[in-house]
Structure 1
């Protein structure tokens, strides 16, 4: 069944409205007709099954049939911090990690980042990344769309790491295999305020992190981890780490 995220003002009372690209997709691509049912969510606190009543140029209106539970988000809140990679690799990371359940993406600049950061292009890239996250969240039947930050510097990332319960620093020179133990220890302790455990995954650029960055991350309280004996591509590392976290937190291998 098709699922669409809309701003809260487009889901009010017993009526849902799709406009723009969403309306075009449902009407022209999916060839929906009045009477068909879809799912609409505001990405915050409401998700509903609706029945299409009006299909017009650039507008679809649907009547609420019933409220649906908001229960598809993971039991753990995961932030993916990805050093800006070349080409469209970050788009792949955002798409696949959104499907897997990531809550936030933090692109950052590190010592070996080879991408030339262009502030003038930032708004356009953020718009592109947000669209990819929205479409991936719809495809995965998630209740919320992950947040995507604008690129930050290394020092700012280390400050953000202190806002999490566990910051994992993916480092190819780490000889230990403590990921499972670190996760088990963290997940066994409930948050004092009742919120979901918050875990940050830090992934370096194509050339990896420097020894200085590893030392600075450790000094900031980050835990260095290995993802195995093989060297993973930068876009693979985030997905691998996130999959491990989701498995260890009970999000995989159970009925949906």
Structure 2
């Protein structure tokens, strides 16, 4: 059943659809009064709804039944990616959303090749959030990850203060044969905890960046013995989280 994300389902158990989703329901899906779809609100609540009215620019629907199925990871995982070149971040956002990421936090790393332009970047941020929304719909998520404009490194460090656990994907740890740090973090995490994972751009993080992150409570980890690309590492850790917290229990 088709899924749409809205701001809220009212106390009267009514939902209102406008904008691009209105166009998709009416023009693409060709739905009519009486047809059903799933609505997810900003709090993660899900309900099967029935269309009761279609106007020129709005759809009104009523809740038929609430859906209790849980599709979110039991811990909240935020992926902080050093701004990569090309469309690699789009790939991370799409696939990372399917794998359950709660949030993506791009940041400008010392070795980021891309030069971020705030004026031109607004459309790119809009596109990133659209990709996340579409991926959340496709993968039956109840929450859409949010992607802000890229943060500067010092802003990322300040932002990290609100997380329960923080790790760095650091290739030097893999080269040294480190194997236990990530598993140790997983064993400490409990349902409802938050995890921030920092992953560098193509050239990796500098020693200075890693040192500063460690000074602010981050644990540097290897993601196995192989060196992963910047767009592969987020998918590795999200898959590992899913296995550890959803399939192995």
- Give the distance between the partners of 2:183 and 2:52, measured in 1 at CA: 53
Quote the residue 2:143 is aligned against.
144
Q: Which of 175, 183, 188 is residue 181 of structure 1 equivalent to?
A: 183
Give the SS at the match of 1:234.
coil
The CA deviation at 1:184 is 3.5
Give the SS at the match of 1:207.
coil
Q: What is the Cα-based RMSD across aligned positions, in Å?
A: 2.0
The CA deviation at 1:77 is 0.8
Give the SS at the match of 2:4.
strand
Q: Is the 8 A contact 2:32 2:51 kept in 1?
A: yes
Quote the residue 2:104 is aligned against.
105
Quote the residue 2:201 is aligned against.
205
Give the SS at the match of 2:171.
coil
Please, which runs of 5 or more residues in structure 1 have no aligned partner? Answer: none
- Give the distance between the partners of 1:163 and 1:197, measured in 2 at CA: 11
Give the SS at the match of 1:148.
coil
Please, which runs of 5 or more residues in structure 2 have no aligned partner? Answer: none
The CA deviation at 1:152 is 0.9
Quote the residue 2:51 is aligned against.
52
Compared with structure 1, are the counterparts of its residues 162 and 102 closer, same or farther at alpha carbon in structure 2 (3 Å cutoff)?
same
Q: How does 1:44-193 map to 2 (within 5 A)?
A: 44=43, 46-69=45-68, 71-174=70-173, 175=176, 176-187=178-189, 190=190
Quote the residue 1:196 is aligned against.
192
Q: Is the 8 A contact 1:183 1:245 kept in 2?
A: no
The CA deviation at 1:198 is 0.8
The CA deviation at 1:180 is 4.5
Task: Check if 1:215 corresponds to 2:211.
Answer: yes
Task: Check if 1:235 corresponds to 2:234.
Answer: no
Compared with structure 1, are the counterparts of its residues 5 and 173 closer, same or farther at alpha carbon in structure 2 (3 Å cutoff)?
same
Q: Is the 8 A contact 1:45 1:70 kept in 2?
A: no
The CA deviation at 1:205 is 0.5
- Give the distance between the partners of 1:218 and 1:45, measured in 2 at CA: 33
Q: Is the 8 A contact 1:218 1:224 kept in 2?
A: yes
Q: How does 1:7-22 map to 2 (within 5 A)?
A: 7-8=7-8, 11=10, 13-22=12-21
Compared with structure 1, are the counterparts of its residues 11 and 235 closer, same or farther at alpha carbon in structure 2 (3 Å cutoff)?
farther
